Amino acid sequence: MHYIISLFLLAHSSFAATLAKRALAPDSTLPSGREYSECYTDSVYSRTLNSDFVFDVGINTLTADTCIAYCSSMGYPVAGTEYAAECFCGTGIPLQTGTDGCNMACAGDSTLACGGPDRLSVYANFATNPGPEGWASLGCYTDNVQARTLANLEQVAGGTDALTVALCTTTCGNLGFTYAGVEYAGKR
């Protein structure tokens, strides 16, 4: 009996070696302004996107599109899929470097990748907020705590929870500044 089981396992494992793993790609047909960011590591103890989570956007129907639509409807510019059927929303893309492992098929479309075990496929709206009239967007700049791009940190009415691009530019303009910028959704 031991001999037969060993032969079966040997035959089974040699058959498995001939199977090719199917490569899945992130969804490339996204709503206007949305782009695939990267695959990021995620953990139940420290979520990469922690603003909103919905396990069942529609079990068996989750794709990047359905997750993006849900997050957009809740006012979040960033959406992420994980474990084929989980959708997370956030306000900013992760600060960590991308990784691989986003290779689980979406519950709603088996030809597309929707994250993986502890891996999050992140999609973001990279469209620049044009800002209020009289101000022109100059793009996105790198900032550093030791050498700030804009030296003055000003408080806006209502605090960081009330921050918008319009409120930031109005505050900075009223204080006589020529430039204004928002960062981390709560600084300027």
The model's confidence at residue 116, banded by pLDDT at 50, 70 and 90, is very high
pLDDT greater than 80 at residue 65: yes
The model's confidence at residue 186, banded by pLDDT at 50, 70 and 90, is low
pLDDT greater than 90 at residue 103: yes
The 10s digit of each residue's pLDDT in 19-50 is 444 566 666 666 667 788 889 999 888 888 87
pLDDT greater than 70 at residue 177: yes
C-alpha distances in Å from residue 161, one per residue of 25, 129, 155, 156, 157: 36, 18, 11, 10, 10
pTM for the model: 0.59
Place of tokens 């993986």: 116
Alpha-carbon distance 140 to 128, whole Å? 8
Over residues 158-175, mean pLDDT = 83
Q: Among residues 45, 42, 44, 122, which one has the least CA distance to residue 89? A: 122
- For 5-19, 59-73, 132-146, 168-182, which range has the lowest pLDDT when averaged over its residues? 5-19
Q: Quick one: tokens of 62?
A: 């989750």
Q: Is 99 helix (H, G, I), strand (E, B) or coil?
A: strand
Are 45 and 51 contacting, i.e. CB atoms less than 8 angstroms apart? Answer: no
